[in-house]
Chain A
């Protein structure tokens, strides 16, 4: 499975790590719904740290599309909301 951390690049992550990442994703979701910025920070950093730990970076010249895309490690609640909206930040 290929995971992109926005602003950092892509990593190959073994499928066995998925359930663990899902748990962290649920915490992230709860923090986002509760508009809890500190909890959101902690959850996002934990999730990204875990992906970095279990993943191995893809070579820079790889042209693979990712299976999962994570927001940048320093993204705020507001930025992630925009990422999830239809008319967000992505140009083009």
Chain B
């Protein structure tokens, strides 16, 4: 009796799962223009006339299914993303987009599994630069030069972005938005203490001291997922040694044991040993570390503009930013301005649908929506700049005023090296005074750099 019950239960469940897995795609109704030859009597004579009639025929055609995976997991981008998908499906009802949003950090890990599966997602969000380059070189990304041409992007997208997306004259990537990095601060906190946004390193240290003296955490940061430490490395390196050295280091052409790199850690050590950072930073993700920033217990946060996505409106009103302070006026100014975009998997099962979706994503309509909703900077020159808000204008000016634009630590160098590098930063953060250990770590990192870049 017991057995029978279990049997029935199992049978029901298995039936249920079978039904679920065989979900039928939606059907659509199409209007078809039919050409009909009719016989008409004209002036007593029977004449054959060709007539075109619009007939609504129920052409039960399956909707084309498109799999779209996105890493936009923070609340605001997640919503905007869903909206864009809706807008696309409204305009092109013959497509059915299966949209999955995966937690940002998990996506970065899972992407290779996505691409190598026999049914990969058709369209994926991804980073421009070295990270995309890797997949392009391994034939995992579909050539979309035809889309670039047919959509007119070769003219409408600035040369820089075109170069970023091309390898060997063909385009593989669609860059759609980018944002700047800066030191964000609470205007009210600064005002209360009579602090001016600093422009030089000495001024910056002074600001930190003032905040600290008034029981405010000078700089908040969440290093649980490590990449926030990369920002500090990037900026310290670019300010002290210049963007050219920084990029060469990213491309494996310079050594991590170089004394210029040690200088970066020296400056970093100063900040850490003076307790300018949030304590136990490693316990918090970047957005968890926003807590003290929101409550006014912390004054500054080195972060990308997407910081707005996770802030309540009253804090956004109280938000402003300044360029990472200059340490050496003779050194060219480098900034991190990561570019995000999309690509189509090389093994996509439905390239036509994917290309249609991509065309939409790169259009003025979609980009204007994103720029308005999220405050990102669009890549399409057709987007009306006059509608940019104050922050966007200021951010644009910030980047325009830079001599060189980098993508970000873990996007400019090989992922394995970035992984190890960020672990070095984390260990250093935990015990900055242990110079012997740092030397050892940098030696190991450099050995790995040589191995990965195939320089031995």
Is the pairing of A and B real? no
Chain A positions near chain B (C-beta within 8 angstroms): none
